[in-house]
Amino acid sequence: MLTPTDLQRQTLRLYGELVARRPGYGGQLVFTCGDACSATGLPVAVSIAGGTTLALDPDASAVKATFRSGGIDFVVNTLDEALRVLKNEVRQHKPLSVALTSELNPVLEEIAARGLLPDLQVTLDSPANPLLVPPTPTPQLTGVPQLRLANAEGLAAPTETLHRWLTQHALTETLINPTTNLRDLDEKLLTLVPADDTTRRTWLQRIAHYQRPTPGTPRILWLTPSEQTALLTRPV
């Protein structure tokens, strides 16, 4: 289970993986499936990027915990329910995440039978414990673009695509500990980020809604060297 700080770090990296590939996800449906896939931070990353997520997750306890913490908007038990909830939001280009609690194969067969084609399937692969039987590979939907990310020791490492995107923008991942509360920290960080930098501003404006801050929680953000210097001279 990821700590709140690691979950935020992973969510930021997943958000980066998405925006490094296309500028916006309004009207896009991202699909993910597998045990505890709803708890990876991916649904939050997609919502911050403006898209919708359908997470097919057999782990009911992970789904409930994620829903209680704000990381999932709706929990349903059938594909029909999921599609009813998602339909309008996709059409209106509004962010939304839905977790479908069910065994994988029956729902995957139903998706195939209906010809439902999400815009992207994202899979985070966890390394198999050498003392245990390796897990069954996460099924892939035929005809759907795939983004498969390594999940080493529970935390996804940036891919070469994200690394290039960060390098292009001279950004590095920075952990900032608040001297006051996290909401005030986010407001002050917004004064460091240029007004036309919608990617980072959207992250700061939305992340606290989905991952509710607790006392002492840091904020993780991409900063340029000059912004890091400004942060040292003007602590937030």
53 Cβ neighbours under 8 A, 6+ residues apart: 29, 30, 31, 32, 42, 43, 46, 47, 96, 97, 98
Predicted local confidence at residue 236, as pLDDT:
62
For residue 125, the surrounding DSSP H or E stretch is strand 120-125
> Is the distance from CB of 127 to CB of 152 less than 8 angstroms?
yes
The SS3 assignment for 56 reads strand
Predicted local confidence at residue 132, as pLDDT:
47
Predicted local confidence at residue 140, as pLDDT:
85
Q: What superfamily would CATH give domain 4-157?
A: Urocanase like domains (3.40.50.10730)
Predicted local confidence at residue 136, as pLDDT:
62
66 Cβ neighbours under 8 A, 6+ residues apart: 38, 39, 43, 72, 99
Predicted local confidence at residue 117, as pLDDT:
92
Predicted local confidence at residue 215, as pLDDT:
79
Predicted local confidence at residue 235, as pLDDT:
64
The pair of three-digit structure tokens given for residue 216, joined into one six-digit string? 């002492």
| pLDDT tens series, the chain, 236 aa | 788 999 999 999 999 999 999 989 999 999 999 999 999 999 999 999 999 999 999 999 999 999 999 999 999 999 999 999 999 999 999 999 999 999 999 999 999 999 999 999 999 876 544 444 555 667 889 889 999 887 755 677 889 999 999 999 999 999 999 877 888 899 999 999 999 999 999 999 999 999 987 778 899 999 999 999 998 887 66
Report domain extents, the chain. Answer: 4-157, 169-233
